[in-house]
Amino acid sequence: MASATAWVPLASLLLLLLLVAGAPSQAGRLHLSHGRSQHTKPVCTQPVYNWCSSWENSQICETPKECSALWRNSDAPPVSVKLFYETLCPGCRSFLSMMLFPTWLLLGNDVMNITLVPFGNAQETSVNGTWTFTCQHGEDECEINMIQTCVLYLLQDDFSSAFVVINCMLSSYNVETSLNLCLKLYTPFLSEDDIMKCAKGPIGNSLMHQNAMMTNHLSPPHTYTPWIVVEEKHLENPSGLLTMVCQLYQGEMPEVCKRNASSITKQILY
């Protein structure tokens, strides 16, 4: 009986010692757990144009308010904006990368329906049923025109990705060598081989002929590049793009349209 009585306090003491000894270990586990929670916090890895592609992305990228404005319900059709350009034309590169692309980022596909037509001042002739092209800035421009035409064709169901690749190319220091890197950055699922197969084959040839037809049947005819058409009317002042789209859009006024268009553009560019 005495031995049993003596065992009880001893067992309690051992239990207490175990608990006390385990306390720092538990605290350490809690601390480590807290540390893991901090390090596993979702990080925004999406490019800007995908921040509003889903509610989850908007939360991770901390843009739910901005995205909510883009997701407003509206039956109004987007404003048609067509750009007729050539890929080595400095003015075309400047307009697309410094005006058209930022405006599209602000307004989105619901407000702007953009059509890109790489051809510009090129000429075409038919030889034995195949079209040959002569470009203002030489053979390299003809090739890049064709490449961008094929990018648009192969990504015809994903204009956002196509536009980002094209902007990446035209804003690069060396447009001629930019394709591979731009694809790796923005569309790793699309290979350069697929694009070149299109560009050097009958599909690319036919697509470029379509671009020529669209360009040569403009009314009024284009007299320079970039030639910008908004709702089938030529836009003479490229810097007025944002203001014009805001004025023509019949849906709920986008937040950015409520501000001064010129000041917004300056904020984006500089």
List, for residues 193-215, the tens digit of each pLDDT value. Answer: 999 999 999 999 999 999 999 99
What's the pLDDT score for residue 180? 97
Low-confidence stretches of the chain (pLDDT beneath 50): 1-38, 261-262, 264-265, 267, 270
What's the pLDDT score for residue 63? 85
H-state helical runs in the chain: 2-39, 55-60, 64-70, 90-95, 101-107, 139-154, 159-170, 179-186, 192-199, 202-216, 241-248, 261-269
- The domain spans of the chain are 43-72, 78-269
What's the pLDDT score for residue 75? 80
* pTM beyond 0.75, yes or no: no
Fold of 78-269: Glutaredoxin (3.40.30)
